[in-house]
Structure 1
Amino acid sequence: MRSRLLLVVALAMLPILIFTLITASQEYMRQRAALAQSLPTDAALLSRAAGRVFGIAHEILLITRVQEAIRSAEEPGCSEGLRAIASLHSVIGNMARLSAEGDVICSARPLPGPINASDQGWFRRAMESGEFAVGSLRQGRVTGLPVIIMGMPVDPDEPGLGAVSISILADSMGALFRAADLPPSYSLFIFDARGDAIFSAPGEAGSPPPDVLSALLSGRESLKTEGPEGRTVRFAAAELITDGPIAVLGRVEAPLRLPLTLTFLAGVGLPLLLSAAGLLALWIGVERMSLRWIRHLRAVAIAHRRGMVAVRARDYEKAPLEFQDLAETLNSMADSIERRQTSLQEAIDLRETLLREVHHRVKNNLQVIISLFNLQARSTTSEAETHHLRNLQAHVEGLAIAHHAAYAAPNIRNILLQDFLSELLAHLGQLFGQDAARTIGCDIEEVHLSIDQAVPLAQLVVEAYAMNRLYRTGEGDAGRASITCRGAGDGGLRLVIDFGKLDPAAVKAGGRGVLSRSLIGGFARQLGGRIEPDQENRDRIILHLPPSDPPVPVAGEAADPPERVGQPAVL
């Protein structure tokens, strides 16, 4: 309801709002474009003014290097010629003639002592490139004032002749830029082609970051970046002379506000404000009267769907009548489900009790048979008859232990393999004597069996035990039988049955060995598994059992039982 009403009002106001926003956006973009374009224009104007100074210096050096007295570096004509040329312009601090090694040969001003310029970047670049080169701002060694030194070779084709240089007073450059009356938010820099600062007048915009300076030197006209204190700064560049230094002008961008016209305020703002107030009132009313109860009842229904039938709708007496009826219906349905679950649980508990009693009585009956076998074995004097009776007794012991494990387990359908095998081996050790100890290890954390799986597995273990007891030849560990149980990759089990070191002739001659292997194969098929002979050890077989159903949780217990690490059962 709320969304539909909001949509209707929004559609009614949409044309006026779109028209106003388009008009305001166009004005905003026009102002932004004009402001962005003004910086490259200012940079170009400043670069032309500064470029005239560099251009004049370049032309003076071209004239100077062809003067014969200066070219030959003969005194006093060299110094007088340089002095005469330097006096033509007030921006010139000094002029000099240098040898190829950087030593000053003659100067327009008197030298304070020997001067060598071979360590200065402008001299090295001029001699290497054979062209006009500009140095950075530095303290003049002759004038003692801040100067910008420029120079070029006397003859590019004869580097051995040396170079001529000219020093431009930095004050004259600063006076030029001060005349431009730049605001405090501007910064001005002059960089040579290598990115070294020749002149700097930093303002609030700061200096350009290395990546911005690199882009400007590569030919970009203007770039925007983040400056000091997180403010947006735009930098623009313009060449002073062709393939020479560039002037970089920076400016802190003042944020533009989207223009809000009177038409927008009167024609759109007031209706939107009234519509928003009405929508807010409707929103609160629908929330209080409807939506919060829908959310509450929906949460109750989701809880019931997930089996949490104890959850009930509450405080619904304050809700509208329709939601009161729905809440009472949900609570009544939950009561019915809870009663039904209680009844079913009681029936399941009764069934469990009856099954436990059945397993207990079967175990007791089997115990009677075991006692009869035991009495018969003690009363006979024939060793072969005693042997057969003990074997039969062992098989019946396996059946009895399986039924005992079923009714003793927390859930009769989930028999823990580790505990079951440990109890079985303990009884076999008591039956045949402690010297016949055997070991079985289970390396998986939880293995559960049903009674239908426990019975054939018990018979299989008894037969493996009998094979080792009858036909083993080794002593100690070499003669011990073992059954190792591990998890397989498909979720099933992998049982490795090692009969120990057996006498092959005795196994082949005795019918009991053939029978035991036949019985083991039958028990494996009853378990639904398959037997794979071990090619490396003929006295060992590998039994693959399919995955069993997951363990069924006992009533009142968690669906996922806590982890339990299986321990080897040793007699």
Structure 2
Amino acid sequence: MELVPKDAARVDPRRRMGIFPLSSGAPRDLLDSVRRRLLLVALLAIAPVASLSMVQGLMHLKGAEDEARQRLLQLAVSAASSQANIIASAESVLQAMKTVEAVRAAGSACQATLYGATLSLPFVSNMGVLDKDGTVACSAIAAPRSVAGEPWWDNLVRAPARPTLTERRMSPATRTEIIIVLEPLPAPDGSFDGAIALGLDATRLDTMLRQATVEAGGVAAIFDAAGRELISNSRTLSQELFSPAGLAGSGSRPVLREVADATGRKWTYTVAPLDRQGLVAAYALPTRELFGWTPLAVAASFALPGLVAVVCLVGLWFAVDRMVLQWLNYLRRVTSVYARGHYRFRPTRLERAPSEFRALGAAVENMAHAVRLRDAKLRENLAEKTALVREIHHRIKNSLQVVVSLLSLYGLGIGQGEDRRRFEELRTRVNTLAVVHRILHEASEGSAVKLRELLRELAALLEGVPDRSLSVRIDAPDVQLPVDMAAPFALMAVEIVLGLAVPDGPKLPVTIGCSQSDGRLVVTITAGPMANTVARPGRFDLDQGFASQLGGQLTRAETGDNVRVTGDFPLRPGRAPTA
């Protein structure tokens, strides 16, 4: 079906939705949008670069950790090398003293020998010989006569096969902190026969360690196998930073540990084995100084892809809106204007649009121009058709009037009686058709007739019938009656009214009422009193014949002196009456 523009704007939206479902509704899913699909494509394009940047950041972090670990290990071993050498030298001195018979036997020359050795070794504070009961047999500087019951002495008695280091302790002889190195003395039968003890000056060792770590600025400490601190360049900080659990990580690949001191400053440390007496060296540096800009670089490796993605998506969002969506919306408004029949509208704003949208706008404008030409042609054809139809109705009306005139001339010779009555009814029927075609000729729209106007003309015609005395009242809405229903409706109404009126009888009041609802037309013709209650044979059948042409039927009911004829007819599909 072809529609002219004024009808196209009134097309049922459900019919339009059948062509392009959901074209003007909400998105069907999350990605049912040009902007969202482009954003998804951009994210997918950025994802590999972002992933590569994050992997690079992780590799940078791992490399920084390995570098920091190696640096701390080197600093720890370098700082503790002097102390390790001193401990090794102390063990060598004890090995040498163990071979001196005067010292071993704790003879008269023992004290002088030990004192001379003590003076030659600046890091040694005292030396002595202990028998198997822990009694001091000989010493360079006077010392307590017995050490029995000391934990370190009990450990040596239980395991006399190797040299032993004691924890840091206060020397009662020199009144300084010392670390005792013990060398067991075996008896001829191999049993434990005492030991030679050497006291290392712990304060001097601390000073040496502090001097070795001045440039690095870190915290260094040496611990024995039991985790006890022996030497430190900052005893207060080392006790805060180095925990027994952290000292256990001195395996083949020491781990980095991060701790905070009492002020909240973060330190990173690791431990390195010294391969002597189970000693380990721990070294700590401030985390910020150790890693420098590494955390910022790693954070940038993770944040930069996200920032790039956000900037890209925001830019793409506005770019799509400015370069695509605004022109699509403008074209949609243009098509809406054309749909309302304003074909002279020119989309001048498209002159600033990209070439693709200018081409699309030109195509839409050409389509509107073609529709305009077609619309003009259809209007011309419709006007020509309407003029032809009105001319046909005019000629039919004239022909029927000629027929009526001829019938009137021939009827002059017919006398009163049944023949005269039938002749008048025939002339009334022809006049009815002439009235219908006159109304169709005068109608502004050739496809419908005004029901109230038609009934008024029929009322005037019926009141002028010579052998009937009628008073017709019209009670009908001003609705449009399809043209193909006008002739049978008018003939049916005339037949019903003529059948109710008694020839040459008193004046009969007749009311013709119509109502319309749900696409149906209900006609009610009431006559009385003194209506003809006896239907003549054949007349009601003729009325039913016209009703059948209208697609309905008639019912006749009598109430006292009144007669009511009711008809219910469907209006033609697509021809809904309008007030």
TM-score by length of 1: 0.46
TM-score by length of 2: 0.45
Q: Which has the larger radius of gyration?
A: 2
